[in-house]
Structure 1
Amino acid sequence: MRIFLAVYRSGSVTAAAAQLHLSQPAVSKQLRALELESGRPLFVRGPRGVVPTQEADRLAREVGPHLDALEGATARLVGRGTDATVHVGGPADLLSIAVAPALAAAPGAPRLRLHTGVADEVLDRLAADELDIAVAARPLRRPGVRQEPLFTETLVLVGNPAWAARLPAATLDAAPLAALADVPLVAFDEELPLLRRYWREVFGASLDAGAAVTLPDFRGVVRTVSAGAGVSVVPRYVAAGAIGRGELVELHAPSRRPRNPIALAFRPPALGRPGVEMVRALLRAAAAGWDR
């Protein structure tokens, strides 16, 4: 399994052999034995290395975190310690609300350094090899960076209970634009992208108003709306706690809410670093419950 992971993470039998101080034929022999045992191919061979199959992706997700944790435990046992620090990037609210708790509580998790920033900044740092892995709210392309779907966030229109009383669901269903015409808006940024998208996709109209308050952190948006400053559109996972406590109310429940894809981004060579594949697997597992 160590040989399999080394090939999977490096994308090369030759590189894995050098990393493990084995001969290339020995590594190839172990891979063939594993493929015979599993009854299906794990890699597609090509002129520039190997490409993992879906079966290899599944196997790496299952065994990678356990082998990383075992090697870390062994290193600590013999007093060598480990220099494995995984640098994770992403938006501040998503890192704070979902990513950090999911990673820090995992048994055998590596040391973590979380770096906040907007999607452009985070992906630039990832491409420059300053980060090991990142979550990005927009599918922006960078050379050498691979992106895979992580989860999809649902956008909700929220206000505090006082605004909910002034904007009953029946009124919003019947005449939403008139009902919201003079309501103060709280936004993540000056361009109001989520509000404009909600107006366009749910109400079928453009939004011409500006924001009464803008601040670049959804946690601050939620607290400001809870205090009664107006209404906003935010990802559901950000508002879930405040809704559960009765501080916020989802003002409108359309048949289809707008949704945003969130990607997990990394440079494939980084998966060979201690702990990075474990972080990737932990995030993929935890993200399944983030939008509920």
Structure 2
Amino acid sequence: MDLALLRTFVTVHRAGSFTRAAALLGLSQPAVTSQIRTLERQLGRPLFLRQARGVTPTAMGEELAHKAAPHLDALVEIAEAGLDDEAAPRTLHLAGPPEFTAERALPALSGLTGDDGQGFDLRASFGSTEDVLEGLAAGRHDLAISTVRPRGALLTATPLCDEEHVLVAAPRWADVTGSARRQGRGAPVLEAVPVVEVHESLPFVSRYWGSVFDSRPAGSGTVVAPDLRAVLACAVAGAGLAVLPRYLCASALARGDVVALHEPAVPPLRTYFLVARAGTLALPHIARVHEWLLRAASDWC
């Protein structure tokens, strides 16, 4: 059996789509379709059910993928391990949310980059969860940091760390709301404080209000800036309250630039996942970065 046909089959199985598999393989969609049909003729059984949106494997397809994928991944690992040690450094493409990637992931990887015979070149891209996962699935990135665990066989996710969300504002807002909060009025008095957010839908504030107060925020964003670092800067300047990851505002809290307006017994958390395409962790440079980030994340929680 032709290994190239098996490689195409496994890629389609993981991608769930001839179109997406073609992009990952650098082939045209008709070429992928032709290879799958050739393999199906050789086996005498259909491997996929064609649907309006992608394909799903038949029982035969699932069985073949279960048997073939580990061996193909092992062959990739052997081939990569046999590369000339003097070859040019590999380039790793990492994508994730701008604040977390810039503040956490990139500094942690600085010790792995460089021309030391063991390092690699690093290219970072920032974007929304949807954008980075789509780019990873399409082969534009090698690893992605996501706040959503992706579904399907194409992408594999490992929990990286949890971030705690904190409701903060400049000290003057604490002075304004302190008395009422001490009287147990909680959310209602906070509704009077302007809100600084990353999006008009108030994703951070809404999540906090739902988790802590079991309600929805009544107002809208007074300042909306699509970067949590800008949100922090506006909160420090007194523009209003903000819900921020603790890692991002810890220094500002320690300096007294902002204060926590509310400290629930169980703070809201959000989980980050480290995501790769299935099979690519057999590549040494991707596996090394994956392991390094997981190790570094143990100090972030």
Q: Is 2:254 the partner of 1:248?
A: no
Q: Give 1:82's aligned amino acid.
A: A
Alignment map for 1:109-128 (pairs within 5 Å): 109-128=119-138
CA distance in 2, matches of 1:255, 1:282: 32
Question: Helix, strand or coil for the counterpart of 1:150?
Answer: strand
SS at match of 2:201: coil
Taking the aligned partners of 1:105 and 1:46, their CA distance within structure 2 comes to 37
Please state whether the residue corresponding to 2:122 is helix, strand or coil: strand
The one-letter code matched in structure 1 to 2:213 is F
Question: 2:93 matched to which residue of 1?
Answer: 87
Q: Deviations over 1:251-289 (max 9, x none)?
A: 211111111111110013322334111110111011122
Give the conservation status (yes or no) of the 8 Å contact 2:200–2:221.
Answer: yes
The corresponding residue for 2:41 is none
The corresponding residue for 2:184 is 174
1:231 deviates by 0.4
Residue 165 of structure 1, CA deviation: 2.3
Indicate the residue corresponding to 1:101 in structure 2.
107
Name the residue aligned to 2:162. 152
CA distance in 1 between counterparts of 2:248 and 2:203 reads 17
Identity rate, percent: 31
2:68 to 40, 48, 59: 48
Aligned counterparts, 1:16-55, within 5 A:
47-50=67-70
SS of the residue 1:130 aligns to: coil
Q: Structure 1 length normalisation: TM-score? A: 0.71
Query: 1:193-247: per-residue Cα shift (whole Å, max 9, x none)?
Result: 2211211221122212100011111111111101110001111111112222321
Q: What is the correspondence of 1:137-148 to structure 2 with a 5 Å cutoff? A: 137-141=147-151, 144-148=154-158
8 A Cα contact 2:180 2:186, kept in partner: no
Match of 2:197 among 187, 191, 198: 187
Aligned mate of 1:206, from 192, 211, 216 = 216
Between the aligned partners of 2:93 and 2:103, the Cα distance in structure 1 is: 17
Corresponding residue for residue 57 of structure 2 = none
Distance 1:126 1:169, change over 3 A: farther
Give the C-alpha shift of residue 100 in structure 1: 0.4
Cα pair 1:160 1:225 within 8 Å, conserved: yes
1: distance between equivalents of 2:245 and 2:177? 20
Query: Alpha-carbon deviations, 1:114-168, whole Å to 9, x = none?
Result: 1100000000010011100010012233551111111111111011222222232
CA RMSD of aligned residues (A): 2.7
Task: Structure 1: state its 5+ residue gaps.
Answer: 1-9, 11-44, 52-63
Q: Distance in 2 between matches of 1:157 and 1:258?
A: 10
Structure 2 unaligned spans of 5+: 1-9, 11-64, 72-76
- Divergent runs of 4+, >6 A: none
TM-score (norm 2): 0.69
Kept in 1, the 8 Å contact 2:197–2:242? The answer is yes
Distance of aligned partners of 1:105 and 1:160 in 2 relative to their CA distance in 1, 3 Å threshold: farther
Report the 3-state secondary structure (helix = DSSP H, G, I; strand = E; otherwise coil) of the residue aligned with 2:220.
Answer: coil
Query: Which amino acid is 2:68 matched to?
Result: R
Question: Aligned residues, how many?
Answer: 227
2:235 to 225, 237, 243: 225
Q: Which amino acid aligns with 2:146?
A: A
Structure number with greater CO (CA < 8 Å, separation at least 6) is: 1
SS at match of 2:124: strand
